[in-house]
Amino acid sequence: MSIAVGQPAPEFTLKDQNQKDVRLGDFRGKNVVIVFYPLDWSPVCTNEHACFVNDMKKFESLNAQILGLSVDSVWSHKAYADKMNIQYPLLADFQPRGSVAEKFGVYLADKGITARAIAVVDKTGKVAWFKQYEILQVPDVTEVAEAIAKLS
């Protein structure tokens, strides 16, 4: 079962593509967009990240931090971020596999991957908006930006 809007977002610390520890709590005072996605390198995930990369200025103007999260390793994230010109953290929910995604109710244990979902965590650390998508569906980043704009 997915996390409910209004709940405190589960705290976590994961390594990003630069092997830096990233804590959700470090972003208090900012809106955080957690982009849960199945795997680096897949066509739909590549399209999804391209949309966020292309719209980064919009999210920055909304005081929003993007965090990508999948079960891929730090090394896969590094190569993927370099190839896609992704400047925001890609978090490796690698060991134990899917443990953070599971806290949000979006780990697909039978497939060993993260579902496609987006959680917006508000400045106080509560889940303000959440949507799960079909695996083959590219999320609408405009919809996400509009949800953040309503928080201000």
Give catalytic status of residue 45 as yes or no.
yes
Q: Which one-letter DSSP state was computed for residue 8?
A: B
Which of 14, 45, 91, 141 is flagged as catalytic? 45
- Residue 11 to residues 31, 38, 44, 99, 100: CA-CA distances in angstroms? 15, 21, 28, 12, 9
Q: Cα separation of 55 and 15, whole Å?
A: 24
What is the amino acid identity at position 97?
A: R
| Cβ atoms of 140 and 129 closer than 8 Å | no
Residues in the chain: 152
| Cβ atoms of 115 and 107 closer than 8 Å | yes
Start-end of H helices in 20-124: 43-54, 56-61, 74-84, 99-103
> Tokens representing 127?
């889940």
Question: What residues are annotated to the active site?
Answer: 45
